[in-house]
């Protein structure tokens, strides 16, 4: 049987160094300006998370696990070689890579990700929700339709979630970078469209005021750089018709103490967490305990 790395709630390699002193954490802190930008607009971008050699390593692992015949494939919670139904608009989308390779496992404990994540969650402990791979091939890469992440996550309450998107390629408007609608995190919960379906599907669910304020901006990022966004922020990405792929790894977390609001499994293939109980256990590890910041 292929080893399931979800058994390990700490790094299993030395790809990322674990901070041993408070200063090691502090170097990754967002400043006041970045924090207030996030609260005002619903995102903050341009945060360096990975060195080039770490990106290369992750891309090597990715090249293996995108193959459906990979021996660890059964560990993915969801796996779509093409999440759209159109061969000319391909979106590779998979959840659960952290269970399969060392790099995608250990990236969850990357201090350069955890420190800002804790700050953006209000200086709270950070618990893992799930990961995602979003990859668009060159020439025929598909869209990710406008959506709010929380519209897919209402089985977990309250809303105290956070998304971190990190590029494994330089992401530009040409190869289908992420776009945000600044300020839309204050629009309340909207209906959820088909993720790899019609780009503009969300428009049917917006009122006139929201339509008028719908002014997306591209988030161009060098590989290894990240963008954090609020769970209610409207975002999406257009096709990739360029000569370059656009690969990305996404980590979704919530503040420790988030509860299940479903009697069914929260993630495919995991035991249910009864409604009203705290989400924790093998598939939802605590990534950062704020107490560790004081003791480091
Ligand atoms: O990578 C993309 O284009 C979409 C990513 C996304 O929807 C997310 O990070 O929540």
216-264 pLDDT, tens digit each: 999 999 999 999 999 999 999 999 999 999 999 999 999 999 999 999 9
What's the distance, Cα to Cα, between the start and end of the chain in Å?
A: 37
Site to substitute for ligand 1 among 216, 248, 252, most atoms within 8 A of C-beta: 248
Surface-to-core class of residue 271, CB atoms within 10 Å of its CB (0-12 exposed, 13-18 middle, 19+ buried): exposed
Query: How do 144-147 and 43-48 pair as beta strands?
Result: unpaired
Residue 296 has pLDDT above 80, yes or no: no
Residues 206-211 have a mean pLDDT of: 97
- Cα–Cα dist 247/279, whole Å: 29
What average pLDDT does the structure give for the chain? 97
Percent of the chain with pLDDT over 90: 94
The pLDDT value given to residue 210:
98
Testing ligand 1's pocket by substitution, the residue of 131, 144, 197 carrying the most ligand atoms inside 8 A of its CB is: 144
Q: Which H/E stretch holds residue 164?
A: strand 161-167
Strand-pairing partners, residue 99, are none
Ligand 1: which atom is nearest the Cα of residue 235? 7
Q: What percent of the chain has pLDDT over 70?
A: 99
Distance 178 CA to ligand 1 centre (A): 6
**pLDDT tens figures, 155-200:** 999 999 999 999 999 999 999 999 999 999 999 999 999 999 899 9
Please report the pLDDT score of residue 41 as a whole number.
Answer: 98
Residue with CA nearest ligand 1 atom 9: 165
Domains in the chain (CATH in brackets) are 39-295 (2.60.120.620)
Pull the structure tokens for residue 266.
Answer: 């929260």
Measured from the CB, is residue 16 less than 6 Å from ligand 1? Answer: no
pTM value is 0.98
Q: Is the CB of 143 under 6 A from ligand 1?
A: no
**Pocket residue to mutate for ligand 1, from 131, 237, 247, most atoms within 8 A of Cβ:** 237
* DSSP 8-state code for residue 8: -
Please report the pLDDT score of residue 292 as a whole number: 87
Q: What pLDDT was estimated at residue 197?
A: 85
* Interval 61-80 mean pLDDT: 98
* Contact 248 CB / ligand 1 (< 6 Å): yes
Please work out whether the CB of residue 54 comes within 6 Å of at least one atom of ligand 1.
Answer: no
Query: Which of residues 65 and 193 earns the better pLDDT score?
Result: 65
pLDDT of residue 295: 67
Kindly state the average pLDDT of the residues 258-283. 98
Torsion-angle region of 46 (φ positive above 0: left; ψ -120 to 50: alpha; else: beta): left
Q: Among the atoms of ligand 1, which is closest to the Cα of residue 147?
A: 7
Q: Is residue 144 lining ligand 1, measured as CB closer than 6 Å?
A: yes
């Amino acid at each position: 049987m292929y080893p399931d790395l979800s058994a390990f709630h700490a790094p299993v390699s030395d790809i990322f160094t674990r901070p041993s002193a408070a200063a090691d954490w502090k170097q990754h802190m967002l400043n006041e300006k970045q924090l207030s930008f996030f609260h005002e607009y619903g995102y903050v971008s341009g945060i360096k998370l990975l060195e080039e050699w770490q990106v290369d390593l992750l891309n090597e692992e990715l090249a293996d696990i995108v193959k459906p015949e990979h021996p660890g494939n059964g560990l993915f919670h969801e796996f779509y070689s093409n999440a759209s139904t159109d061969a000319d608009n391909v979106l590779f989308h998979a959840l659960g890579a952290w269970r399969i390779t060392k790099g995608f496992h250990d990236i969850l404990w990357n201090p350069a990700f955890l420190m800002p994540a804790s700050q953006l969650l209000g200086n709270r402990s950070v618990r893992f929700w799930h990961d995602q791979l979003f990859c668009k091939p060159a020439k025929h890469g598909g869209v990710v339709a406008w959506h709010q992440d929380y519209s897919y996550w209402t089985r977990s309450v309250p809303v105290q979630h956070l998304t971190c998107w990190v590029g494994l390629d330089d992401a530009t408007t040409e190869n289908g970078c992420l776009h945000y609608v600044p300020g839309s995190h204050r629009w309340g919960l909207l209906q959820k469209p088909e993720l790899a379906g019609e780009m503009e599907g969300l428009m049917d669910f917006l009122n006139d005021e929201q339509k008028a304020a719908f002014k997306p901006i591209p988030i161009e990022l060098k590989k290894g750089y990240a963008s954090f966004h609020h769970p209610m922020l409207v975002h999406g990405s257009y096709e990739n018709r360029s000569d370059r792929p656009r690969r990305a790894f996404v980590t979704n977390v919530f503040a420790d103490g988030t509860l299940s609001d479903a009697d069914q499994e929260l993630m495919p293939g995991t035991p249910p967490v009864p409604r009203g109980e705290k989400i924790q256990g093998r598939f939802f590890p605590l990534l950062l305990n704020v107490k560790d910041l004081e003791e480091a």
